[in-house]
Amino acid sequence: MSQWSRFLPFIRPQMVIMACAGVAVMGVAACNLVLIRLAGSLWDLITVQKDLQQLTTMVWMFIGLVVGQGVLSMGHSYMTALASQRVMADFRTHVFSHLHRLSLKFFAKRRTGELISRLMNDVGVIQNLLTETPMDVLKHVVTIIGGVGFLLAMNWRLCVLILILLPLLAIIARLFGKRLKAFSTKIQDQTAKVTILIEEVVSGIREVKSFVQGKREEARFRTAVEGLLSTTMQRAAVLAVFVSFITFCTFVMASAVLWYGGKQVIEGQLSPGDLFAFVLFAGILIGPFGSVARIYSQIKEVQGAMARVFELLDTPLDIQDSPNSRPLVPIRGDVQFEEVQFAYEERPPVLDTVSFSIKAGECVALVGPTGAGKTTIINLLHRFYDPTKGRVLIDGHDARSIQLDSLYGQLALVPQETFLFGGTIMDNIRYGRWDAGEADILEASRRANAHDFIQVLPEGYETLLGEKGVNLSGGQRQRVAIARALLKDPRILILDEATSALDSQAESLVQGALVELMKGRTTLMIAHRFSSIQRADRILVLHRGTIIEEGRHGALLEKRGLYHQLYTLREVEGIAVVGKS
Ligand code: GTP
Ligand code: MG
């Protein structure tokens, strides 16, 4: 129950519309009942009383009711759709707003396809039950109460007969419903699997092609789709039997009613019109009784969907503002790691007692073998994660005491792999500072050595990028990322140098842009290239989560330690080829 109440804030604003829709749907049900009652009377007028004048009046009433019912039905459909779509849009936005604030820890464990499925499919399933089902229930309640009332008033014996037969039908429906439900759950799971597969292949299309795994992916897809097909067909088989069986039962029931009712008509205890109305009433009562089972299974289905959505909503935001966090006034850019220890989940620590400081405006390079913890350090500086022990200080303030938006506002990350959003190049650069004017964007782009290549694109800055911007080269993407960072104009710069080697011309363009970007800022960079390392004021050599050497290039070489080893074995360059963050 408490789970359901969590939807109240989303339903409440739609209450007025839903109430109107509810009144309309009850009106529709009432019209149906009266129409049937009228049909019975019409029958008697034709066969028994043979009164033409009254017949004409009745037919006009009949038409009037049909029109009224139509108008109400239209209103009900539109208002229900409006309320339910609004509830879903608001709830989806609520889930999305929680989703994007979750920490990287959460995303590291999830698949994109699964999250999309929760946000789209599961929320859709819930929405149906929240808005459309209550309308159905209202309609059914009115139909059952009104229908049974009319029947009782006409002939209680026949009514009792129908009330015995209808629940029987409902029980049969319920039995089938259970089996159908099991299949539905399985179909949902299998559909989610297929979605995840598509998402993976599309995201990893380069790997799929280059490792020639197309056939295998196709086979995997075929297996998944065949599994889905098989379950869907099993459900279709059960459904086919169910529909025919229910139809059969309905006819048997109708026969029973016709026989018993017919007998009463022959004996003069019931008018032919009443019998006619009886059969029609019994017909419209089947719906509500049958749907009891359907609604029950729908509730079960929604409970599954709700569990998945709430699991997401209940995942705490572990990186968020603490109650007494303060905004960061424009900062100098001092960075300090104070005995920082960090572990991903319950594993052994990846960083152990890492301490270093970077003075404002200094450029420090992180060097070390693959898996040493370089990316982890910049993740901590960017506060994508919080240290398990120790502190990360910015201008002497614990990063956890600074308001997130204000902290992020002072940092810029140029990652190994630049993510470009679908949209224009202009908007992709503007991502650095959304309120930037066009002149600022052009200026940033010039300083990032990006202006020249953008200008010769077919539509210049308005050129649209495909998903992930596949139409730009690696070096071009990096320069877009640098322009973005320049536009943001942060005090602290975090660079994860791309490992992929660029040709020398592209390399010098990127390096030139980086020099421009680093001017007057604190920089922490993971450097794979000798040229970048040389530019650093200081080098930190990381090995298995601890800093084992520190100093300038020349001094470190003289030490003849790990740095010397990495350098002389040209492993620094080697990592550039094989390393991955
Ligand atoms: P390269 O990028 O290859 O040069 O390595 P790196 O120095 O950047 O290493 P990184 O900081 O990425 O990883 C350090 C250790 O943490 C490695 O042993 C990784 O396996 C581990 N690690 C990195 N990211 C995650 C994560 O998201 N979850 C878990 N559980 N472990 C991680
Ligand atoms: Mg890395």
pLDDT band per the 50, 70, 90 thresholds, residue 515: confident
Ligand 1 binding pocket includes 108 (Cβ within 6 Å): yes
Separation CA 148–CA 127 (nearest Å): 31
481 and 425 share one domain: yes
- 70-80 confidence digits (pLDDT tens): 999 999 999 99
Say yes or no: CB of residue 22 within 6 Å of ligand 1.
no
Atom of ligand 1 nearest to the CA of 369: 4
Q: Do 423 and 405 reside in the same domain of the chain?
A: no
Residues with Cβ within 8 Å of 527's Cβ and at least 6 positions away in sequence, in order, are 365, 366, 367, 495, 497, 533, 536, 572
Based on the fold, state whether residues 532 and 457 are members of the same structural domain. Answer: no
What is the C-alpha to C-alpha distance for residues 538 and 552, in angstroms, rounded to an integer?
5
If you measure from the C-alpha of residue 265 to the centroid of ligand 2, how many angstroms do you get, rounded to a whole number? Answer: 88
- pLDDT bucket at 580, cuts 50 / 70 / 90: very low
* Model confidence band, residue 533 (pLDDT cutoffs 50, 70, 90): confident
- Ligand 1 atom closest to Cα of residue 581: 2
When pLDDT is averaged across residues 290-297 and rounded to a whole number, the result is 74
Q: What is the pLDDT of residue 499?
A: 65
- Of 452, 471, 489, the residue that ends a domain is 489
With a 6 Å cutoff on the Cβ, whether 347 touches ligand 1 is yes
CB 559 within 8 Å of CB 353: no
Among 106-115, 430-439, 504-513, 564-573, the range scoring the smallest mean pLDDT is 564-573
Query: Ligand 1: which of 347, 376, 499, 541 to mutate, most ligand atoms within 8 Å of CB?
Result: 376
CA atoms within 13 A of residue 518's CA, in its CB half-sphere = 19
Do 283 and 429 belong together in one domain? no
Which CATH number do you get for residue 69? 1.20.1560.10
Amino acid 79: pLDDT = 96
300 plus 339 within the same structural domain: no
Amino acid at 122: D
Is 323 inside any structural domain? no
What is the rounded average pLDDT for all residues in the chain? 89
H or E stretch at 459: none
User: Which residue's CA is minimally distant from atom 10 of ligand 1?
Assistant: 373
Ligand with minimal distance to 542 CA = 1
Q: How far is the CA of 189 from the centre of ligand 2 (A)?
A: 35
Final residue in a domain of this structure, among 260, 285, 313: 313
Residues 6+ positions from 268 with CB-CB distance below 8 Å: none
Look up residue 319 and give its DSSP letter: S
Q: Examine the fold and report which residue of 284, 313, 342 is the final residue of a domain before the chain moves on.
A: 313
Please list, in sequence order, all residues whose beta carbon lies within 8 angstroms of the beta carbon of residue 381, skipping any fewer than 6 positions away: 335, 337, 392, 399, 411, 492, 494, 524
Mean pLDDT of 337-346: 93
Q: Is the Cβ atom of 188 under 6 angstroms away from ligand 1?
A: no
Rounded Cα distance, 512 and 448, in Å: 8
519 within a domain of the structure (yes/no): yes
Closest residue (by CA) to atom 14 of ligand 1?
373
How many structural domains does the chain have? 3
Q: Which residues are paired to 391 by β-bridges?
A: 338
Q: How confident is the model at residue 574 (pLDDT cuts 50, 70, 90)?
A: very low
Q: Is 73's C-beta closer than 6 angstroms to any atom of ligand 1? A: no
Question: Do 309 and 439 belong to one domain?
Answer: no
Best probe residue, ligand 1, of 102, 110, 375 (max atoms within 8 Å of C-beta): 375
Nearest CA to ligand 1 atom 20: 371
- Count Cα atoms within 13 angstroms, Cβ side, for 151: 24
Dihedral sign for Cα 239, 243, 244, 245, please: positive
Please tell me if the CB atom of residue 263 comes closer than 6 angstroms to any atom of ligand 1.
Answer: no
Domain presence at residue 567: no
Report whether 540 contacts 356 (CB < 8 A): yes
Q: Percentages helix, strand, coil for the chain, rounded to the nearest 5?
A: 70, 10, 20
pLDDT at position 530 over 90? no
Are 140 and 164 in a shared domain? yes
Q: Is residue 374 in contact with ligand 1, taking CB distance under 6 Å?
A: yes
Domain range for 308 is 2-313
**How many Å lie between the centroid of ligand 1 and the Cα of residue 532?**
22
Report whether pLDDT(299) > 90: no
581 lines ligand 1 (CB under 6 A): yes
- Among 104, 36, 122, residue whose Cα is nearest residue 315: 104
Q: Confirm or reject: Cβ of 370 under 6 Å from ligand 1.
A: yes
Give 367 Cα–ligand 2 centroid separation in angstroms: 10
CA–CA–CA angle 101, 104, 106 (5° rounding): 85
Residue 387: CB within 6 Å of ligand 1?
no
Over pLDDT 70: what percentage of the chain? 96
Rounded Cα gap, residues 125 and 304, in angstroms:
10
Query: Using CA atoms, how far apart are residues 442 and 445, in angstroms rounded to an integer?
Result: 5
Residue 557 lies in a domain: no
Distance in angstroms (rounded) separating the CA atoms of residues 335 and 392: 8
Does the C-beta of 373 come closer than 6 Å to ligand 1?
Answer: yes
Residue 376 Cα to ligand 2 middle (Å)? 7
Interval 162-209: pLDDT, tens: 888 888 887 887 788 788 878 888 888 898 889 889 988 998 998 999
Q: Are residues 113 and 124 in the same domain?
A: yes
Res 468 pLDDT > 70: no
Residue 86 pLDDT grade (very low, low, confident, very high; cuts 50, 70, 90)? very high
> Alpha helices, DSSP H only, in 128-271?
133-154, 156-203, 205-210, 214-266
45-48 long-range CB contacts below 8 Å, 24 or more apart?
45/273, 47/272, 47/273, 48/271, 48/272, 48/273
In a domain, 18, yes or no: yes
Confidence band, pLDDT 50/70/90 cuts, at residue 581: very low
In what order do the strands lie in the sheet containing 522-526?
411-414, 492-496, 522-526, 363-367, 538-543, 546-551
Identify whether the C-beta of residue 441 lies closer than 8 Å to the C-beta of residue 426. Answer: yes
Is the minimum distance from the CB of 346 to ligand 1 under 6 angstroms? no
Q: How far is the CA of 581 from the centre of ligand 2 (A)?
A: 3
Q: Is residue 322 part of a domain?
A: no
Nearest CA to ligand 1 atom 25: 344
For residue 418, what are the CA distances in angstroms to 107, 171, 474?
18, 59, 8
Q: What is the pLDDT of residue 577?
A: 39
The CATH number linked to 346 is 3.40.50.300
The reply to whether 463 and 399 lie within a common domain is: no
116, part of any domain: yes
Kindly tell me if the per-residue pLDDT of 483 is higher than 90. Answer: yes
Q: What is the pLDDT of residue 289?
A: 76
The Cα diameter of the chain in Å comes to 119
Rounded CA-CA distance 235/352 in Å is 56
Q: Who contacts 102 (Cβ-Cβ below 8 Å, separation ≥6)?
A: 315, 317
Ligand 1 centroid from CA 498, angstroms: 16
Residue 379: is its pLDDT beyond 90?
yes
Of 21-25, 152-156, 511-515, which one has max mean pLDDT? 21-25
3-state SS record for 281-314: HHHHHHHHHHHHHHHHHHHHHHHHHHHHHHHHHC
**Residue found by looking up tokens 């719906």 in the block:** 287
Q: Is the same domain home to 32 and 133?
A: yes
Based on the fold, state whether residues 189 and 83 are members of the same structural domain: yes
The reply to whether ligand 1 has any atom less than 6 angstroms from the CB of 376 is yes
Bin 361: left if φ > 0, else alpha if -120 < ψ < 50, else beta.
left
pLDDT of the residue at 578: 39
Identify whether residues 270 and 400 lie together within a single domain. Answer: no
Residue 408 has pLDDT above 70, yes or no: yes
Q: How many A from CA of 576 to the centre of ligand 2? A: 11
565 located within any domain = no
User: What atom of ligand 1 comes closest to residue 366's alpha carbon?
Assistant: 7
Q: Which of 344, 354, 380 to mutate to test the pocket of ligand 1 (most atoms within 8 A of CB)?
A: 344
User: Exposure string (b/e) for 323-350, b if CB count within 10 Å is 16 or more?
Assistant: eebeebeebebbbbbbebebbeeeeebb
Give the model confidence (pLDDT) of 37-51 as tens digits.
Answer: 999 999 999 988 888
